[in-house]
Every structure is written in C-alpha cells, then in structure tokens.
Amino acid sequence: MNSTDFIVARHDLQQCKSIETRLPDATALPEDALLVKIDRFAFTANNITYAVLGDQLKYWQLFPAPEDFGNIPVWGFGDVIASNHPDIAIGERLFGYFPMATHLVIEAADVSKRSLRDGAAHRQGVAPVYNAYARVGGDPAFAGRQGDYQALLRPLFMLSFLVDAHLAEHEFYGARSVMLSSASSKTAFGLAHLLHTLRKDIRVIGLTSAANNDFVRSLGCYDDVVTYDRVTSSLPSDTPVALVDMAGNSELRATLHRHFGDQMKYSGRIGLTHRSSSPDEPELPGARPSWFFAPDQIRKRAKEWGPDGIDLRFGAAWSGLAPMLDRWLKITEGSGPATVKQVYLDTLNGRVPPQQGHILSLAE
C-alpha cells in the first residue's frame, strides 16, 4: 500500500508536488506501531509559517521527505487502520499533528486513556505538543463541524489564550490598548475576542489590509480597525500601547515603534503572515520586540498551573469562542492532490479570504 504525500521545496515554497511513498505492510508494523489513515486537516497561514521556519524550528524533521523537500505539518484527524499496540484498537480516532499525506505510521508511546505520543526517534527534540495525539473517538467536541473548528482553531486559539493570560498577568505592561497586526487572522481574532470579552478596560485595535477591513469590522471584537496605510495618521501616539504582531512585517513594526516611541510598552512577535521580515532589524524605540512561542509558554504554564490547569482554563475560553464560529467562519472542504495544491498555493500567496476555513484531505 502507498501513501500520497504533498511536499514542498524547502528553499522555494512555490515549488510543490504530490508523491507516492511505500507504507509498511499492516502485518509488518514495528512493535507498538499504528498505521493511521489521515482523514482531514486544516490549512491556514500558520502552516505556511511552519514551512518558513522549517529549518530553524525543526519542523522539517517531523515528517521526513526526499532531499531538499519538506512535508508541512498540519493539525487534523486520523483513524487507526492497523495496530500493533495492545491498548489501541483499529478504528481509534486521533487528533494531532500530521503530515500532509494520506497515511502516517506512529510509534505509540505513553498511551493513556486520553492521549498517546509518537515516540519515533526522528520526532524527538521538538516541543512535546507536536508529538501528542488526543484520543477523541466518540467525543462530540471533536466530531463533525465542531471537529473542523478544533482542527482550524485549537492550535491558534491556544496562542491567543496564552497571550491574553501573559498580558493580563503583567497588567498589560501599563498599556491601555492592544494593537493586533493581521487582525483578520484566526490567531488575532481569537485574541481580540478574549480581550474584548474579558478585559473590558483595554481597547482592542485591529490592524489589517484594505482588502480585509470589512471582514475585521464585521467581527465585532475590535474597538477600532485601522488599515496599514493609516496607522500613523489614525492612531494617537500619546497613550501607552502593546503590539501583538501576527504579520511579522519589519517595516510595519518599525513604523509603529517610531510612531509610539516610549509609549510602546510591549512588542510581542507572534507570526510571519506577511513574510516581510528582515533578518537585520534596527534597534527600535520603546519595548524591545521579543518572540512569544506557544509551545514554550505551554511548558511554563503546565508547571505553574499543574497537570490539568491549562486544559481547564483553555476549555472555559474555548466555550466562549465556539458559539461565534458559525458566524465568523465558512468551512470549505476539499480533497485530492490537485485541490490540496491549489489551497496551498492560494494560502502561500495570500489569496484566501479571511472568513474561509479550509479543511482538506489528500485522499481523492
């Protein structure tokens, strides 16, 4: 049996193709291994960022591909179709980090009632969150449309949730408003929703492109929406602000820091949606820009909040977000290598409308 894998050229992301790889026979699986059929996965700008940072953050090592190519990790669902592990039955449904492929062999380790881990040697040395699979069969929160929302938003909203907790813990570093770049992104509007509902005295400002202005305004969780070309003319520079930067656009960040000067109280680097990040950024006035990386924060919070501390708090936050999603997002399902390629290239080249949530499968 073969797996269909979608791979991209590591140093020229516009080049991509599907290939067939040979799978081990179900009867020849290594001890404790599972053969998983990947059923559906989400695809957003976040996956493009995984590719951009593939070398730096070791994303390419998770799902090996032929030389000079990489398989981009995606969040989604898979069903166990063969099992050599005594506690995992055929038919188990898993949620977690998968390759863009039709199949994956997982070396099941640390199997518990709710989760397992892929113990494959090549997957070690990355943050634990990338090797954990939730056993979600029969859980309505991970089924049907709710499951699609989980695949699309769970990893992104985790970041939103962690940034909200971080800023609140530090009393917003003295800022009275929070600016979010790429305000139309799912990661940004998840955070805007939390700030809007939980931090009533903080003003939430969305920065976006002219094309996405109407969408961002329609969400109702931003107090103000400003297009990138108007940031200096529209935003008063004399009140303390925090920047949560999903766009990763060096020019925009420099403009904002110079405009606000010492009033820039916090500058968190989150994403790279614009892919216009210069490796040599100058010293900027105001707070020093620093990376905020969800897996590091998850480790920190797990220690502080105890084993179930994140799940309980995140679950409460998710239940506030979930009712908004039918209005905010339109799920578009697509299958087969040609469709996956088109969605990949559209996402890479910024052609996906922000309300669209792509759920894909490589199987025809």
Ligand X SMILES: NC(=O)c1ccc[n+]([C@@H]2O[C@H](COP(=O)([O-])OP(=O)(O)OC[C@H]3O[C@@H](n4cnc5c(N)ncnc54)[C@H](OP(=O)(O)O)[C@@H]3O)[C@@H](O)[C@H]2O)c1
**Contacting residues toward ligand X, per CB under 6 A:** 44-46, 49, 156, 159, 182-187, 208-209, 212, 246-247, 270-274, 292-294, 349-350, 354
Q: Spell out the residues 6+ positions from residue 257 whose beta carbon is closer than 8 angstroms to its own.
A: 243, 264, 267, 284, 285, 286, 289
Residue number with the shortest CB distance to ligand X? 271
Shortest Å distance, C-beta 44 to ligand X? 3
129, 296, 312 from 302: Cα distances, Å: 12, 10, 11
What is d(CA 245, CA 226) in angstroms, rounded to the nearest whole number?
A: 14
Work out the burial of residue 172: count CB atoms within 10 Å of its CB; fewer than 13 is exposed, 13-18 middle, 19 or more buried: buried
What is d(CA 58, CA 49) in angstroms, rounded to the nearest whole number?
A: 12
Rg of the chain, C-alpha, whole Å: 21
Cβ closest to ligand X, residue 2 vs residue 218: 218
Cβ closest to ligand X, residue 4 vs residue 60: 60
Cβ closest to ligand X, residue 106 vs residue 228: 228
Shortest Å distance, C-beta 354 to ligand X? 4
**Alpha helices, DSSP H, located in 170-236:** 186-198, 213-219, 231-234
Cβ closest to ligand X, residue 50 vs residue 260: 50
Rounded to the nearest 10 degrees, the angle between the axes of helix 309-321 and helix 294-305 is: 120
Cβ closest to ligand X, residue 80 vs residue 152: 152
Cβ closest to ligand X, residue 120 vs residue 272: 272
Shortest Å distance, C-beta 181 to ligand X? 7
Shortest Å distance, C-beta 2 to ligand X? 30
Instruction: Report yes or no: 266 and 287 within 8 Å, Cβ to Cβ.
Output: yes
For the record, the structure tokens of 144 come out as 């049907």
Shortest Å distance, C-beta 33 to ligand X? 30
Cβ closest to ligand X, residue 21 vs residue 213: 213
Shortest Å distance, C-beta 295 to ligand X? 7
Shortest Å distance, C-beta 185 to ligand X? 3
Residue 70's DSSP bridge partners are 8
